[in-house]
Amino acid sequence: MRVGYGSLRAMRNPWLVLVAGFAAFGLVACAGGAGGASRGEMGDLAGDEPAEGGISDVPNPSAEMASKSGKSLSRLQRGHEVYMLKCGECHNYMLPQVIDEARWERKLPKMIGHAGLGSAEEQAVMDYVIGVRSLKG
């Protein structure tokens, strides 16, 4: 009986070991450790709308959004770009139109740090969140 023989042979392949190591590192990096950027960090709200969603649930910047928020359209587009490219790497998108601004202000610095971004990107994402929320009311 050859139980486990294939896995021993796989461990001798340096490329397979390297790929497995990168995969493990990626899982640890996105987990963010205790209290990190795990799936649903900001949680669901008490209402009917979930606080997280997929790409199609995230609003695109628009001229109306720029006008109502007082932010330039290019600034909103930059924040949206950072949000879409970085925030979804480790968890579902936290929906700006559902989560209140104060909660974003509390959580965003920690998430920006986990993503390895700087204060310019943090402010761009916050401007985008403010822009999205300006359409609500």
* 32-65 per-position pLDDT tens digit: 443 443 444 454 444 445 688 888 889 999 999 9
- pLDDT digit string (tens) for 102-121? 998 998 999 999 899 999 99
Query: Is a pLDDT exceeding 70 seen at residue 13?
Result: no
CA atoms of 86 and 101, how far apart (whole Å): 19
Predicted structure pTM score: 0.64
